Amino acid sequence: MTKAVGIDIGGTGIKGAVIDTATGALLTDRIKLDTPKGGEPDDIVKVVVSIIETLAVDAEVPVGVCFPAVIIKGHTMSAANVSKKWIGLDAEKLFEKALGRDIRFINDADAAGVAEVRYGAAKDVPGVVILTTLGTGIGSALIYNGVLVPNTELGHLEVDGKDAESRASYSAKERDDLSFKEWAKRLQRYYDTVEALFSPDLIIVGGGISKSYEEFLPLLELRAPIVPAALRNNAGILGAAALAAEHRGATGHAAVAD
């Protein structure tokens, strides 16, 4: 058994747990604390430190942290539902200094994609797998034969002259008071574009709304199978932990392309 900690930072909550990275099982209860109002870097770091202290893991246990931003060489290059002070910040070093240990730092949708490959809906699926998370925006993870291509940001594809997530995210459904049938028409246009550009072998739909997948996925007509994410709200934690263990030298079949 290889233990690792996964921390999933979101705009409203920060979650963490200790994971058995061989099986994806949670070895502790999941801790969830509110994201501090404003999402300032130092405030979020303090919450992460508190979660790690509560989990009471020793310094040898790898820690992975996933975050809602494009992440390049440890720097957060965007900021979704958190303070704009994150943009351009060397966030990985900020967390490492506060925690007193090395961490694995990754985009949240990318972490969810890795988790679905290792433990969920994309396990043992060859070829191109695209995970999308439908929420405030549209997050994405692109995986080819088990290898993650990071920071794809497919929610920002231009569809019908507009940023895709401004029309097809779950928040757009709520904003425009759309029925599932009406929303599915927008999703159809979005996923048609994804298929035309990437020819995926499997599309996975995550985000909180995926629990209601029966209301809208059957309305979509695509070449590739489109299925709900298997891991729901634990996906970010599991993916971050798995990548942390791998970073520490553990073996596994889902890597990250450099």
DSSP string, 127-147: SEEEEEEESSSEEEEEEETTE
Residue 89 token pair: 């910040």
Query: Pseudo-torsion of CA 144, 152, 169, 122, nearest 10°?
Result: 20
pTM reported for the whole predicted model: 0.90
Mean pLDDT of 161-178: 96
Classify residue 110 as left (phi > 0), alpha (psi -120 to 50) or beta: alpha
- Which pLDDT tens digit goes with each residue over 147-162? 999 999 999 999 999 9
H or E segment at 116?
helix 108-119
pLDDT band at 232 (very low <50, low <70, confident <90, very high): confident
User: Residue 249's pLDDT band (boundaries 50, 70, 90)?
Assistant: low
Distance CA 135, CA 254 (A): 25
Is residue 243 helix, strand or coil?
helix
The Cα–Cα gap between 90 and 240 comes to 18
CA–CA dist 213, 205 (Å, integer): 8
How far, in Å, CA of 211 to CA of 205, rounded? Answer: 10
pLDDT of residue 50: 97
DSSP 81: S
Query: By C-alpha distance, which of 256, 249, 257 is closest to 102?
Result: 249
Asked if residue 21 has pLDDT above 50, the reply is yes
81 band by pLDDT with thresholds 50, 70 and 90: confident
Q: What percent of the chain has pLDDT over 90?
A: 88
**In the prediction, which pLDDT does 12 show?**
85
- Per-residue pLDDT for 256 more than 70? no
Quote the mean pLDDT of the chain. Answer: 93
Q: What is the mean pLDDT of residues 5-29?
A: 95
Collapsing DSSP to helix, strand or coil, 34 comes out as strand
The proportion of the chain whose per-residue pLDDT surpasses 70, expressed as a percent, equals 95
On the question of pLDDT at 69 being above 80, the answer is yes
Q: Is the pLDDT of residue 258 over 60?
A: no
Among candidate residues 108, 150, 142, the one with its CA nearest the CA of residue 15: 108
Separation in Å, CA 175 to CA 100, 167, 178:
43, 10, 8
> SS in 3 state form for 167-231?
HHCHHHHHHCCCCHHHHHHHHHHHHHHHHHHHCCCEEEEECHHHHHHHHCHHHCCCCCCEEECCC
The full set of domains in the chain, from first to last, is: 3-108 (3.30.420.40), 121-230 (3.30.420.40)
Among positive and negative, which fits the CA dihedral 107, 108, 109, 115? Answer: positive
